[in-house]
Structure 1
Amino acid sequence: MSGERERVLEVEDLQVRFATDTGEVPAVCDISLHVHTSETLALVGESGSGKSTVALAAMGLLPGNARASGRVTVDGTQVVGAGEAELARLRGRTASMVFQEPATALDPLTRVGAQIAEVIRNHRPLGRAEAAREAIELLRRVGIPEPEQRARAFPFQLSGGQRQRVVIAMAIANSPGLLIADEPTTALDVTVQAEILDLLRGLAADSGTGVLLVTHNMGVVADFADRVAVMLNGEIVETGPVEEVLLRPRHEYTRKLLAAVPRLVFQGEDPAPRQDAPVVELRDVRVRFGRGPRAVRALDGVSLDVRPGETVGLVGESGSGKSTAARVALGLIPPDSGTVSLFGTDLARSRGRRRRALLSGVGVVLQDPVASLDARMSVAECVAEPLRMHRRGMSAAERRARVAEVLELVRLPKELMARGPRELSGGQRQRVSLARALVLEPRLLVADEPTSALDVSVQRTVLEVIAELQRELGFGCLFVSHDLAVVQQFAHRVVVMRAGCVEEQGPTMSTLLRPRSEYTRRLIAAVPVPDPVVQRRRRAGVTV
């Protein structure tokens, strides 16, 4: 029984408040929780609920403007109030953390094997050669192919899934009793996500590591967690075994979260195909990166199109070429061969002012709005920037009016216009990014993973806004995503990519319900669902 096992993390009456210019803001309010050895506790809730603050408090990583009280005990060490020397001994040895974005956790200028070896030597008296050998073994343990060669690679030479495995190798290098995983699979495609979860599950079972999993993905919770704690406004509103919380939720907020989860459905019809001329068309496009024998084939004979008023979902695993295809459609990557037509015009033959005029008809929404919005600008300035570049005849008053109009379209109040992007929630920032993309009334919207980093209720809101605006404005949308459930709900047609090629394409419902390709069937089978019974049967190899 879990009650008889050792507690590797114990949180009692934790409070965290942040000092701001307008006074202290409560983030976590008197919460208590625990994690046993060989157990995974999932901490779930919307953005701003306080779940990541709890994870940072457990590692002693709260920012300088945070004030914490209560008890946080990791393997007998009281974290709240501990000195930096004591916390440094704790981190990486007794407790480790895996973050959402491995790029921020890895040094881009240091080979990955050396980074793992450094973590080992920081806590154990090993020589360089022995630590290097252990780093290679750790890479093998976390499923990196050819670990001797990969140890000499730099982070940018690895795929997103491989980088996340490197981060996990660093986290388990010193056999910690507690592993804190903060959204460890959010940016990964479904098959890599399943592999990472299998890896973490095996670590917990084999070494007795307790895991605190911070996530907004209820499918991941169902697949991986033993218990669940649901947070709302800094408080835990429900906790219990995973089957009880996900299948028989008591709290209305938990029921709301579960209702917002996108799910694959296995019945439905496709709308009639559209006959309008495409707003963008790729024909037999080929792209190679690099030269000679080391050249990488990114796209190989890719053909697809998007028509006015329709959404085409572009899906596939990491490295399949879907983001490269989107960048080709945007004119950011010139194809080695094949043609790209934008609004009926060959993009390769367009130069100067004519090319700029064509591209002004394209709006772009990226996965991370923080990277696409200038933190030094206000919301109004961010949204108005395309107008200043492409509508130079507009007066300042006309720009302000247009910005107010488009912010209203994306359901953002005018009061936010003077704020900076970092003063907004994740969902608000993504809607500012959407407003910026729509301010020029584009005929084509390219959305590259626009909701993968958002919690489920905010994700639903953003997708509803895009769909509503598409019905109103009639733009075509190329929607790049690894979430097949979202694509099924949102896209009219789907293009499945694999290793730079189009594996299959067609109307969304028929393609996902009756896939011709074994690869597509594998992608569909890897989609986690928020039902722990179904996920357990899947892991046991039972067809569901």
Structure 2
Amino acid sequence: MNDILEIDGLGVTFSTETGEVPAVRDVSLRVRPGETLALVGESGSGKSTVALAAMGLLPGSARTSGRVGIDGTDVVGAPEAALARLRGRTASMVFQEPATALDPLTRVGAQIAEVVRNHRDVSRSEAAREAVELLRRVGIPEPERRASAFPFQLSGGQRQRVVIAMAIANSPGLLIADEPTTALDVTVQAEILDLLRRLAADSGTGVLLVTHNMGVVADFADRVAVMLRGEVVETGPVEEVLLRPTHTYTRKLLAAVPRLRFDGEGVPTATADTDPADPDTPVVRLRDVGVRFGRGPRAVQALDGVSLDVRPGETVGLVGESGSGKSTAARVALGLVAPAAGSVSLFGSDLGRARGRARRALLSGVGVVLQDPVASLDARMSVAECVAEPLRMHRRGMSAAERRERVGDALELVRLPRELAGRGPRELSGGQRQRVSLARALVLRPRLLVADEPTSALDVSVQRTVLEVIAELQRELGFACLFVSHDLAVVQEFARRVVVLRAGRVEEQGPVMSTLLRPETEYTRRLIAAVPVPDPVAQRRRRAARRTEATT
């Protein structure tokens, strides 16, 4: 059986203002039909460049050498018309960020139907029916209704499922997936991986999986290739690479992976974990909060009777599936969404009643770090201007010299040199940009930090660094933290208490270890069971147990 993807001696060099920059050097890979090859490595290792080169999607500034073949068709140097016929039919690609892959002004059903009609002679009505069925296959609820929605009306995880539906619409022989599950919660991630696994088994689709999630690699891949500075440094069967790595860099990557701690029975390890009654006034308190978006039959109840506290100096993890309301709850705490019911107090004051200067004073005590630093940092501003923005808003009497000093101090707090202040966000790595976002959040020395998926887009070693910086600064500065995440391993490691949301309601809450050790609800048990671990043998057992439980 011929390989669906053949890469021989691939080299990619980018032309920049400062000269030629080699991104990929002498990479050779193979993907067989029905096989999944995982390509792993830190940001800047060249893995996404390999994926783009395989689809002929590199920018004009790239110079490519070597050979890339898909189902016998040479990609390097092929005319655009031949590549257009190839893409979407013989090979498809799932990108990490659905916001850039979807047209914000076109309903999602129409976008999927367009992909179908671009490669098959079917009527508009038949393509529309297929679009609904594809939405159902990727696990989107009420697919008939969701097909008429615009991308902004869907959660991040739902948008990613739409992108996957578009990629599999024409049953391609090769699927290139660049971080396809980064924005997904663990249960949806498990469902998507099961879907892609069935696609590979039923139709013989080969998969090139680009990811930094070693649990996903263990769960899904047959073979692994590890990249470092543009070169493949280790490759082999998934069990060999993950359980018996030979290269120092591979061992370093695996050591940085956050893991749910389990005992021999496969349940989280108990620790000394108590939840004492704390007399301190909560930094933020939500009481019976309700939030409703829209009107009429299409209105969505995003939060329904949600109550939670975050006390001084503690970290509370907010977890749940996409659409559970966790980001909405964070926005309520930030004063960005006004609840239709219930109350929100910030530092002991009613946020809903605060107006003008009093409200600004309250909110100046809150810092926020968002998931995507590219979107949250203005590319037209320097790093110094980005970090100084809260000072200009809330410390108007501060001189320019005082602002520069405070910005430099904030950069050093997050382990960045002051010399970066004059650069633009685009000149920084993903981990550096996220630490700039953290510096901006902490420049006012807030009493509360709201972190909404702050590390999910980062590779494991950079994620480890950012989490260590946040934990170190919390010990030093004493701020409280509301930590929104779908990564239960990170929450277990970083938070003191956890609040589990489901469909806008609190499913359960309590000390993080005891909640993960002895979950009270089936929903929380299902979340824990869906967390992939970076051990292929253990992950196969967990997947089998999850399927058995689902059928009983």
Match of 1:268 among 253, 271, 278: 271
Partner Cα distance (1:150, 1:322) in 2? 21
CA distance 1:39–1:321, change in 2 (3 Å): same
The corresponding residue for 1:531 is 535
* Runs of 4+ with >6 A deviation: none
Alignment of 1:68-217 (within 5 A): 68-217=64-213
**Range with bigger deviation, 383-392 or 271-280:** 271-280
Partner Cα distance (1:299, 1:289) in 2? 10
Alignment of 1:29-428 (within 5 A): 29-265=25-261, 266-270=269-273, 273=276, 274-428=278-432
Partner Cα distance (1:285, 1:116) in 2? 36
Alpha carbons 1:9, 1:73 under 8 Å: kept? yes
List per-residue Cα deviations over 1:350-406 (Å, max 9, x = no partner): 110111011011000000011111101111111111111111111111111111111
Partner Cα distance (1:349, 1:117) in 2? 48
Partner Cα distance (2:296, 2:126) in 1? 36
SS at match of 1:367: coil
SS at match of 1:240: strand
CA distance 1:393–1:152, change in 2 (3 Å): closer
The corresponding residue for 1:451 is 455
**RMSD (Å) for aligned C-alpha atoms:** 1.6
Partner Cα distance (2:294, 2:81) in 1? 46
Deviation at residue 435 of structure 1 after TM alignment: 0.2
Unmatched 5+ residue regions in structure 2?
Answer: 262-268
Deviation at residue 166 of structure 1 after TM alignment: 2.4
Number of residue pairs aligned between Structure 1 and Structure 2: 540
Alpha carbons 2:275, 2:510 under 8 Å: kept? no
Instruction: Give the TM-score, by structure 1 length.
Output: 0.96
CA distance 1:309–1:368, change in 2 (3 Å): same
Alignment of 1:409-488 (within 5 A): 409-488=413-492
Alpha carbons 1:427, 1:462 under 8 Å: kept? yes
Alpha carbons 1:365, 1:448 under 8 Å: kept? yes
Alpha carbons 2:270, 2:514 under 8 Å: kept? no
Partner Cα distance (1:275, 1:258) in 2? 41
List per-residue Cα deviations over 1:216-267 (Å, max 9, x = no partner): 0000000000000000100101000001100111111111111111011113
Partner Cα distance (2:273, 2:75) in 1? 55
Alpha carbons 1:14, 1:28 under 8 Å: kept? yes
SS at match of 1:495: strand
Alpha carbons 1:71, 1:80 under 8 Å: kept? yes
Specify the code of the residue in structure 2 equivalent to 1:232: L
**Range with bigger deviation, 120-129 or 453-462:** 120-129
Partner Cα distance (2:418, 2:487) in 1? 32
Deviation at residue 145 of structure 1 after TM alignment: 4.3
Alpha carbons 1:271, 1:492 under 8 Å: kept? no
Deviation at residue 139 of structure 1 after TM alignment: 3.2
Deviation at residue 529 of structure 1 after TM alignment: 0.3
**Range with bigger deviation, 288-297 or 186-195:** 288-297
SS at match of 1:41: strand
Specify the code of the residue in structure 2 equivalent to 1:365: V
Partner Cα distance (2:288, 2:179) in 1? 37
SS at match of 1:49: coil
Percent identical among aligned pairs is 85
Deviation at residue 196 of structure 1 after TM alignment: 0.6
Instruction: Give the TM-score, by structure 2 length.
Output: 0.95
Alpha carbons 1:9, 1:34 under 8 Å: kept? yes
Partner Cα distance (1:166, 1:406) in 2? 39
CA distance 1:364–1:155, change in 2 (3 Å): same
